[in-house]
Amino acid sequence: MDPAETNFTGHRASKRRLPRSFKELTPTRAFSPRTYFREMVWKPLMTRRRGRHKQPLFPHPRAGQVGLTWIGHSSFLVQLAACNLLIDPIFSNWLFVVKRQKHPGLRLKDIPNPDIVLITHAHFDHFHKPTLRRLPSNRIAIVPWGVGELAQGLGFDRILELEWWESYTRGDLRITFTPAKHWGARMISDHHRGYGGFVIEFQGRKIYHAGDSAYFDGFRQIGDKLAPEIALLPIGASHPESFRKVHMGPEDAVRAFKELRSHWLVPMHYGTFRLAFEDIDEPPRRLADLAAHAGLSKQLLILEEGVPVLL
């Protein structure tokens, strides 16, 4: 292991027991078991899966360049001159009984070997064990506090847990775990597990993956402390209104983006699994309208699954 590799402790995160579980989201009339089954399970089941696996045409980033590929949902491949990072990979066609609505943009076997895998929290659409098991070995996992035990036995050489504001550094690479407004329990009562986002810094470039989060004033703080340039922000699973206690909609993402003062806004967490009641294509449409209204169209980068961009 590189001797320059360190894992230094920043401020210990206060483990606020923020949103606790799905059950705690205000029940709405729409949220009856029957409606849930019809909207999340039955309708997607009856809908043909769209999209296709793209041919793997990855860039070879030179010093100071970032290759960014959206795979679908919150899964991204980040390519830097020194290494490949995979974030929240999920390649499966099903999330339990919920059918994936669009194929992953790439086949898992076509992904360049990741050196580091980042997991933002233990929810099944982000920490997907069957996908992680299929990755080649010899890699490091970086996960929130309380999530490391879940990553045992999945082929990782090393598993590192981070608290909010803690960083992992190796040479020029620094990865900082950032706060979010969400919750970490994978099942029901395992609230000791953390959740958050990551800022990846390498040779002056800074990429922020927010994980899952509601809007909160932490975005301003992340902007002040780390000034990320490329912001990957979730925009889906935010309807009805009560879901916005734990997720962002397009309005929230625009507000967060302004407070982060980033240059690129890349939306995610939409279009793949139907996890809430909005139309699956609505979030990016709405985001594009809002961005146009706010004069941010040139900074909005709506990616197509499996098509890399070099930034």
Site residues for Zn ion per CB under 5 A:
123, 125, 212
Residues of the chain by 3-state class (helix, strand, coil), percent to 5: 20, 25, 55
Nearer to Zn ion, 174 or 245 (CB): 245
* Cis amide linkage into residue 240, ω under 30° from 0: yes
Least separation in angstroms between residue 182's CB and Zn ion is: 6
State the Cα–Cα distance between residues 12 and 164, nearest whole angstrom. Answer: 7
Least separation in angstroms between residue 268's CB and Zn ion is: 9
Least separation in angstroms between residue 123's CB and Zn ion is: 4
Nearer to Zn ion, 156 or 270 (CB): 270
Least separation in angstroms between residue 149's CB and Zn ion is: 18
Nearer to Zn ion, 125 or 305 (CB): 125
Q: Report the b/e string of 48-84 with b at 16+ CB within 10 A.
A: eeebeebeeebeebeeebbbbbbbbbbbbbbbbbebb
Least separation in angstroms between residue 246's CB and Zn ion is: 7
The label of the residue with tokens 């995979």 reads: 86
Q: Whose CA is closest to 195, among 208, 207, 177?
A: 177
Nearer to Zn ion, 125 or 201 (CB): 125
Nearer to Zn ion, 212 or 259 (CB): 212
Residues 6+ positions from 302 with CB-CB distance below 8 Å: 266, 267, 284, 287, 288
